[in-house]
A and B are shown apart, each in its own frame.
Chain A
């Protein structure tokens, strides 16, 4: 029982790292209808920006906040330059462009920062000891709290702000939204920005959780983000949150109870089974890949 509880704690911690990134991805898909394969690189850029800023003497929290804001702008710029001109020209050009953009960003980061891993400047903490020998790693608890606050912020934005309402309207039917007087272009731009902010937060949390960063960290993590997104039902922020927790639990349970070298295989095997049984994801509608941002 102790082992199970401990593993569940680790699973929640892993899910908390995945969740913000998965929500950002699914949010942008919900509004733009485009799955951005360069999304992982936003995480990388955020982690490296935090690393560089902290190295320049900026306090870590401020460095992270600046990096998150910068990633919002960066994502908006990348989308305006490379993705928006291709919208409406089919899935494949956008897909290939985003993969290309991913590699370009990855290589630029590699050239600028070097390919060797770097230590993310996050302090070490000893864990809290709960009864029964259960350990709560402090850093992961902090990441969990930040992720929860971020998810709450996304929820409040979608529910209670004009931007959230217009995002939902555009996602539901952009033609109708346009006829209703909504500036859909502006909404899409705002969505890219918000998505970039969340991805930036995901990158900072990923760097903090890993304790080290590499130019390929975001791209490698993208598979996990996709898994959480698909499991929750693509385009569904709340589904992405739940999907992240399930993937996190799956990875840790697999590592503990089956085999450490098959932890991902076990988690993704469960994902495949879940999608075979429910192709639209746990929270998706049949035949629609949509997001109940509401």
Chain B
């Protein structure tokens, strides 16, 4: 008998408090405990008055989405090193300052406020869709522009005609591309036809953002979903959820989830006897996901990815060589976000302006969008050279052309990929025209 150990009031309060904290962590709303926010990652510790040009990396560095921060910061640092080693922005060094959003709204707001008010960053590289809801107000209040390499959220579709930019396409387009492919199988899926399509989507803002575009697009293309299930993220198993969907006899499940949950769902479904198809989104359309889900489970699944322009192949190989590994999720988009931001700063400098958030933003469209006579560039060095020679530039990066519409969105064609013999292979392309 383990008797006589009384749970005193101190313990009760402590357990209650810690329990609440854990629950908040579980819900993705915990305060920043590890405190990565604000650590400069390059050069001096930022600050508008230091002579440096600080950019805020506003992404999750801790929590279950810490992989986003790792992927983004690795290539952002590489780009900033390149920019600084090539003379910086007219002699001024660019610095990166981390703001850890933890993948939550609350922590995102705190990190964004600190970056904008204390570190006085010129722009945010970020945030993710997970934090955008809260960060949006900080962006508007502080007039600090964002160039997000990760936020596909439909909230950004018409968030504003200034301040909001992204180098990743909207989930609206992604959802529409999936629906288009499934409803015209002869054109996109090598003739494989799927009549009973179900949707499973994780209950997180970044994931739910896909739900409506898919539902409405499937309806619009005349093939409504047979099931539309939203599931709790981060569970250790999804047997009941998968069983519920399987009772509707789907022959295709569109799966919108984070990689670990998606792999878990697919494994659970496989072990429960599901042998239909899967369609996953960009986060899962990569070799890492195939490895995570195991090639056995992933064989035959369809995925979506932004089309890689042929012109970027050489550039990609060069970046991959320098990183020492293949590009991770969001790294191509980050490459573009940092480059286009730095080129905008350089364009402002060359125009004789002080580099501020306002002058930076005013030049984003100028360096990214095509104008008559513009030189197409794919790197900061090439853009700088063209600007120095008095030419206009049209930045086209690693993830494709970066042409902002009036709301700062980019449009991208999508490749339909399918896992064959353990790796994703392209089977079709959904062009921009197809998505209109």
Contacts and interface: CB of A to CB of B under 8 A. Distances in A.
Contacts of B270: 124
Contacts of A234: 7
Q: Say what secondary structure dominates the interface of chain B.
A: helix
B264 interface: yes
Interface string A139-179: 11000000000000000000000000001100111000000
Contacts of A291: 1-2
Contacts of B260: 117, 210, 212, 214
A216 B7 CA distance: 28
Interface residues of A, number: 76
A127 B70 CA distance: 38
Given A91-B10, A91-B11, A115-B70, A206 B230 contact: no
Given A171-B1, A211-B267, A294-B1, A115 B67 contact: yes
Interface in B180-224: 203
Contacts of A91: 8, 10-11, 14
B433 interface: no
Contact of B240 (A124, A235, A255, A292): A255
B420 interface: no
B263 A211 contact: yes
Contacts of A292: 1-3
B4 interface: yes
Contacts of B291: 119
Contacts of A212: 260, 263-264, 292
Contacts of A124: 267, 270-271, 294, 296-297
Interface string B19-31: 1011101100000
B66 A115 contact: yes
Given A6-B243, A135-B272, A252-B239, A210 B264 contact: yes
Given A116-B288, A124-B296, A127-B271, A220 B234 contact: yes
Interface string A203-231: 00010011110111001111110100000
A263 interface: yes
Contacts of B272: 127, 135, 137
A198 B367 CA distance: 59
B271 to A, nearest CB: 5
Nearest to A14: B237
Interface residues of B, number: 60
Q: Say what secondary structure dominates the interface of chain A.
A: helix
Nearest to B267: A211
A94 to B, nearest CB: 8
Interface string B228-243: 0111101111011101
A236 B2 CA distance: 8
A124 B275 CA distance: 14
B3 A261 contact: no
A99 interface: yes
Nearest to A262: B232
Interface string B146-158: 0000000000000
A78 B175 CA distance: 48
B128 to A, nearest CB: 14
B93 to A, nearest CB: 27
Contacts of B69: 115
B273 A260 contact: no
Contacts of A37: 18, 22
B436 interface: no
Given A7-B240, A10-B239, A126-B273, A290 B2 contact: yes
B255 to A, nearest CB: 13
Interface string A233-255: 01110000000000000011001
A236 B5 CA distance: 12
A149 B70 CA distance: 40
Contacts of B230: 259-261
Interface in A264-294: 264, 287-294
Contact of A216 (B4, B63, B229): B63
Given A91-B14, A119-B294, A125 B271 contact: yes
Interface string A1-42: 000001100100110010000000000011101010100000
B8 A13 contact: no
B1 A172 contact: yes
A95 interface: yes
B369 to A, nearest CB: 34
A90 B11 CA distance: 8
25 contacts: A7-B243, A10-B243, A91-B10, A127-B273, A140-B239, A172-B1, A172-B2, A172-B4, A173-B3, A210-B264, A211-B294, A212-B260, A212-B263, A214-B260, A216-B64, A224-B236, A252-B239, A255-B232, A260-B231, A261-B231, A263-B235, A288-B3, A288-B4, A288-B5, A290-B2
A-B CB proximity, top 5 nearest = A171-B2, A30-B2, A291-B2, A289-B7, A117-B260
Interface of B: 1-8, 10-11, 14-15, 18-19, 21-23, 25-26, 33-34, 62-64, 66-67, 69-70, 203, 229-232, 234-237, 239-241, 243-244, 259-260, 263-264, 267-268, 270-273, 288, 291-294, 296-297, 328
Interface of A: 6-7, 10, 13-14, 17, 29-31, 33, 35, 37, 90-92, 95, 99, 103, 107, 110, 114-119, 124-127, 135, 137-140, 167-168, 171-173, 206, 209-212, 214-216, 219-224, 226, 234-236, 251-252, 255-256, 259-264, 287-294
Given A127-B273, A209-B236, 14 more contacts: A14-B236, A30-B2, A91-B10, A119-B263, A124-B270, A137-B239, A139-B271, A212-B260, A222-B22, A223-B22, A255-B244, A260-B229, A290-B2, A291-B1
